[in-house]
Amino acid sequence: MDYRQIYQQKLTTAEEAVKIVQSGDWVDYGWCTNHPVALDRALAARKDELTDVKVRGGVTMWMPEICKAEDAGDHFTWHAWHMSGVDRKIAAKGMGYFTPMRYSELPRFYRENLEVDVAMIQVTPMDQHGNFNFGLVTSHLADMLDRASHIILEVNHNLPWANGMCRSEINIRDVDMVVEGENPPVAQLGAGAPPTEVDRKVAELIVPEIPNGACLQLGIGGMPNAIGAMIAQSDLRDLGVHTEMYVDAFVDIAMAGKITGRYKGLDRGRQVHTFGAGTQKLYDYIDHNPEVVSAPVDYTNDVRVIAQLDNFISINNAVDLDLFGQVNAESAGLKHISGTGGQLDFVLGAYLSQGGKSFICLSSTMTGKDGVLRSRIVPSLTQGSIVTDPRSAVQYLVTEYGIVNLKGASTWERAEKIISIAHPDFRESLIKEAEKMGIWRRSNRLPPVSL
């Protein structure tokens, strides 16, 4: 079969390709680093011809052209699977909305619940077998494309080819149109600010509890990256990786010789993830690297899969938590910040793993825009805050003041344990609130619990 000939037959311009979009359509932009660029610009140019075009995306790395115009919301509505800072700005314009989900369920949403009129995503150049790789994202894309009535690919020569376990490519035979884009640099997620003293203290509490041969999942943010940096400098060996998002910290750990995957019960010797975003260092490391493989999110985040990996260590962030042990990792009251993502899946899966541990970490305090220091540990979550991890699921909580294990603890034991890792300036006020709530016993003060 002459794949190049088929390619030439389907090759067109972005302007021609987006003419297929009609008012009222559901259009899918994919996920994160493979949102379209040239196609998005061409669709935005058709703004005045269209109304009620509903566009899906997630973990948006740059402002889509369709969202920039002052009257953009009269023509397009943005639906985010997971909110980034850009997604929050779109929502603030009144044209963007969040769709709640456990990330592991997203492929099934497409198989059973959703319609896709047009899908348009960035991909790598076609190989000699007629296949385009999804680059840094496997996630739910294959199931999304299976549902699409029309598929338009935008080729970007700068996207790394991420080896996939399965369903990480699409063949030219299954595509309607191909557009050769302008090959923009792949959007980068900055390394962020250097670890704070609080980040380092939390890392110092967690890293000693990671055994040799453990399988790691790191969330995004300062604390998980600080922990990753400390792991890279530690004496740990033969670590494995099975994670949702592949971040720069994994590259540092791997380059330090700490990752072999030798003891993984599944996918031995392979670092498994569903999407990646970070610096160019990460993109160069993933490109055609046989040790790093991408898989659909209903595999990477499946609690039943995670549970089969012994000594699974899950490390994630939180916005705040209350004295019942409810963890909010996605909103500040009614202000939406991110999403459930895979956090709950990994909290549950790590606990089911033989020797596994789930850590939710956060600084004990934050300073508001008004300069006032506030506790991240609160009596009860602020009205409108989302319970990402229910109290019944949480295992270890960590602040710079210690680690506590909530499994098997009654409501008063939970309150005492959680208060013990709060900032000292807020402990007495938290005790008073706990007394009002009927979950405090002064006769039994518990010290921070070590593992």
Q: Do 170 and 43 belong to one domain? A: yes
**pLDDT one digit per residue (tens) for the chain, 451 residues:** 899 999 999 999 999 999 999 999 999 999 999 999 999 999 999 999 999 999 999 999 999 999 999 999 999 999 999 999 999 999 999 999 999 999 999 999 999 999 999 999 999 999 999 999 999 999 999 999 999 999 999 999 999 999 999 999 999 999 999 999 899 999 998 766 678 899 889 999 999 999 999 999 998 777 777 888 889 999 999 999 999 999 999 999 999 999 999 999 999 999 999 999 999 999 999 999 999 999 999 999 999 999 999 999 999 999 999 999 999 999 988 888 899 999 999 999 999 999 999 999 999 999 988 899 999 999 999 999 999 999 999 999 999 999 999 999 999 999 999 999 999 999 999 999 999 999 998 765 555 544 4
Q: Do 212 and 323 belong to one domain? A: yes
Residues 60, 275 contacting (CB under 8 angstroms)? no
Q: Do 280 and 343 belong to one domain? A: yes
Beta bridge partners of 403: 398
Q: Do 71 and 32 belong to one domain? A: yes
Residue 143 lies in a domain: yes
Q: What is the pLDDT of residue 228?
A: 87
Residue 451 lies in a domain: no
Q: Do 325 and 368 belong to one domain? A: yes
Q: What is the pLDDT of residue 333?
A: 87
Residue 445 lies in a domain: no
Residue 253 lies in a domain: yes
The set of catalytic residues is 244
Q: Do 176 and 202 belong to one domain? A: no
φ, ψ dihedrals at 86, nearest 5°: -65, -45
Domain end call among 126, 153, 180: 180
Q: What is the pLDDT of residue 445?
A: 59
Q: Do 169 and 201 belong to one domain? A: no
CB atoms within 10 A of CB 7: 18
Q: Do 147 and 250 belong to one domain? A: no
Closest to 134 (Cα-Cα) out of 107, 171, 104, 162: 162
Residue 443 lies in a domain: no
Residue 187 lies in a domain: no
Distance CA 252, CA 229 (A): 7
Q: What is the pLDDT of residue 442?
A: 72
pTM of the model: 0.94
Residues 388, 328 contacting (CB under 8 angstroms)? yes
Q: What is the pLDDT of residue 451?
A: 44
Please list, residue by residue across 331-361, b when 16 or more beta carbons sit within 10 angstroms of its beta carbon and e when fewer do. beeeebbbbbbbbbbbbbbbbebeebbbbbb
Residue 446 lies in a domain: no
Domain end call among 131, 151, 180: 180
Residues 357, 406 contacting (CB under 8 angstroms)? no
Distance CA 73, CA 51 (A): 9
Across the chain, which distance is largest between two alpha carbons, in Å? 80
Residues in contact with 157: Cβ distance below 8 Å, sequence separation at least 6, in sequence order:
124, 125, 183
* H/E element, 424: helix 424-436
Q: What is the pLDDT of residue 41?
A: 98
List the Cα angle 410/416/419 in 5-degree steps. 135
Distance CA 374, CA 441 (A): 25
Distance CA 260, CA 270 (A): 8
One-letter amino acid at 203 equals A
Q: Do 58 and 109 belong to one domain? A: yes
Q: Do 427 and 349 belong to one domain? A: yes
Residue 55 lies in a domain: yes
Q: Do 237 and 152 belong to one domain? A: no
Q: Do 168 and 208 belong to one domain? A: no
| DSSP conformation class of 330 | S
User: 267 by DSSP, 3-state: which?
Assistant: coil
Q: Give me the domain span that covers residue 21.
A: 3-180
Residues 344, 391 contacting (CB under 8 angstroms)? no
Domain end call among 118, 153, 180: 180
Domains of the chain: total: 2
User: 101 by DSSP, 3-state: which?
Assistant: coil
Q: What is the pLDDT of residue 446?
A: 54
The domain spanning residue 23 has which CATH number?
3.40.1080.10
The domain spanning residue 237 has which CATH number?
3.40.1080.20
